[in-house]
């Protein structure tokens, strides 16, 4: 359930994009992020930091995409989110006695302090790499930026709605527009399936890592509560549980 709530804005973004294009999808994601933050506030009686930060960034970068009619801004948003989380987890390990991961999971699970520090470093690395992977998809794997610039150069129009290529262009220009749209769609698919896949894989790896140390505790005769065992697979929320 928590994973669904975390990815709720991204899922709605994906659905809206398939029917109406990047600009309607961006507006949908902003509204969905507001709803997500409001629901979490009502459900838990407080604002949660990560969804709130994500809302702020989608409002800024999504707003720029809508105002300037350029998808590149909303495409940068997942990278900024991931890098901010990486900075927060790194700063948390340097300030205070406990890393961020331990503060989030320490009440449910007891493992040695070095394990928390290693896990915190792993999250920092995960967020950094996820941010770079997103940029790799935008600029290299999908070829979106090059395709967009080629279309802008050919048409001398900086504001193009790729969802309406057939109604705007014909011939060579239509081919360029379709190419840019196909590249854009590669990124959208990556944002949902790629980012979610990376996050789930990392969380599963974290669960196995923690479980191994819980077993070590049990083998050494240290008591482990049912609550601790049940929550061994719980993980802190990750980056592009963020809305786009």
Q: What is d(CA 237, CA 206) in angstroms, rounded to the nearest whole number? A: 12
At 227 the pLDDT is 42
User: 46: alpha, beta or left, given left = phi > 0 and alpha = psi -120 to 50?
Assistant: beta
- The alpha carbon dihedral of 36, 39, 43, 45 has a sign of positive
At 221 the pLDDT is 46
At 134 the pLDDT is 97
Q: What is d(CA 102, CA 218) in angstroms, rounded to the nearest whole number? A: 20
Instruction: Return the DSSP state at 231.
Output: T
At 43 the pLDDT is 85
Q: How many other β-carbons are positioned within 10 Å of the β-carbon of residue 15?
A: 13
Containing 124, the helix (H) or strand (E) segment is helix 113-136
Most distant pair of Cα atoms in the chain: their distance: 74
Kindly give the confidence (pLDDT) of every residue in the chain, 244 residues in length, as a single tens digit, with 9 standing for 90 and above: 666 677 789 999 999 999 999 999 999 999 999 999 999 889 888 888 888 989 999 999 999 999 999 999 999 999 999 999 999 999 988 887 788 888 887 777 778 888 888 999 999 999 999 999 999 999 999 999 999 999 999 998 888 889 888 888 999 999 999 999 999 999 999 999 999 899 999 999 998 888 887 644 444 444 444 344 444 444 444 434 444 4
- The alpha carbon dihedral of 188, 193, 198, 199 has a sign of positive
């Amino acid at each position: 359930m928590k994973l669904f709530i975390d990815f709720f804005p991204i899922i709605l973004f994906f659905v809206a994009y398939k029917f109406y294009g990047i600009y309607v999808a961006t507006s949908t994601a902003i509204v969905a992020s507001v709803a997500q933050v409001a629901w979490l506030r009502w459900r838990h009686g407080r604002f949660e930091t990560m969804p709130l930060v994500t809302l702020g960034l989608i409002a800024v970068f999504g707003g720029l995409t809508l105002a300037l009619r350029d998808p590149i801004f909303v495409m940068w948003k997942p990278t900024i989110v991931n890098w901010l989380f990486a900075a927060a987890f790194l700063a948390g390990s340097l300030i205070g006695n406990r890393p961020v991961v331990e503060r989030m999971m320490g009440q449910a699970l007891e493992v040695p302090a070095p394990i928390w520090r290693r896990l915190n470093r792993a999250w920092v690395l995960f967020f950094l790499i996820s941010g770079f992977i997103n940029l790799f998809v935008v600029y290299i794997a999908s070829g979106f930026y090059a395709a967009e610039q080629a279309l802008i150069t050919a048409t001398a129009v900086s504001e193009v709605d790729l969802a309406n290529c057939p109604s705007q262009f014909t011939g060579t220009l239509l081919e360029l527009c379709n190419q840019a749209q196909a590249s854009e769609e590669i990124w959208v698919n990556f944002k949902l399936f790629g980012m979610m896949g990376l996050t789930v894989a990392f969380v599963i790896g974290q669960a196995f890592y923690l479980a191994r140390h819980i077993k070590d505790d049990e083998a050494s005769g240290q008591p482990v509560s049912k609550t601790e065992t049940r929550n061994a697979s719980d993980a802190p929320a990750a980056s592009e549980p963020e809305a786009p």
